[in-house]
Amino acid sequence: MPRAAAPAARALTAPCSGHTAAVTHGRLRHPYLDHPAPIPFAHRGGAADGLENTAAAFRRAADAGYRYFETDVHATADGKLVAFHDSTLDRVTDGTGRIAELPWKRVREARVAGTEPLPLFEELLEQFPDARWNVDVKAESALHPLVDLIARTGVWDRVCVGSFSEGRVARAAKIAGPRLATSYGVRGVLGLRLRSYSVPAALRVGAVAAQVPETQAGIRVVDRRFVRTAHARGLQVHVWTVNEPERMEALLDLGVDGIMTDRIDILRTVLDRRGAWA
């Protein structure tokens, strides 16, 4: 076993954090998904104002009533886990350079929109103890630090790990076991889509959700058939990134289980109007 995986493996023998699995779509549900209504996710904390993935953005979302946050992680050159979307600092900060090639002392000097520091993911876990996090692992170098952090802090019920890379998520699941909530990557979503048309396709066992765009390259991904197939496998369907109220309404009518949005104000209004905010 790699040295970096040892803390996660040891933590699997520890008692869970007091949560028990519920039932969804006829199957046991991971405690991460313990929510009585469609899950509203604040995508990067609500990225519409330009302060994406900052403590300020997540605080604003929390103040608006959100308890599920989406974020991304990269590892610095010295192994610190930073909540940040891009591989480089250049697009949204006043800094420059690749995060993987910079030490944390350099990365922490950058400011998003010139004002807000980049947070460590561990800091966000501490600052928002009631929040649950959907974490997109953006680089292989961030995988072991993330699983180790989850194991060390015991936040198994508060984190779901996803990635475009099915292999990366599968490796996280192999290290951590069934206590770690994971979603399907691109390959898993494709397999689920094929199965929705009764085409045989291999699917990784153990995922708790399919987190997908509504369409991809002009091809519809989410329809009633896809949702029904996912639910039949005990999977929730979370759709990203939806900012228009009419699309939110249509997806909720299809029975999706969660929506990720930059426009936290609009999604709150839509769910309030439907009596579905919880």
Find out whether 167 and 178 touch, Cβ atoms under 8 Å: no
Find out whether 227 and 250 touch, Cβ atoms under 8 Å: no
Quote the Cα angle for 211-134-101, to 5°. 110
Residue with tokens 């309404």: 249
Beta strands, E only, the chain: 22-24, 27-29, 39-43, 68-75, 81-83, 111-112, 116-117, 132-137, 159-162, 181-182, 209-213, 215-216, 219-220, 236-240, 258-261
CA-to-CA distance for 197 and 229, rounded, in angstroms?
A: 9
Containing 187, the helix (H) or strand (E) segment is helix 186-196
Q: Determine whether 30 is an active site residue.
A: no
Strands 219-220, 215-216: pairing is antiparallel
Please tell me which residue in 43, 74, 231, 238 is annotated as part of the active site.
Answer: 43
Nearest to 69 by CA among 32, 115, 20: 32
Catalytic residues, by residue number, are 43, 85
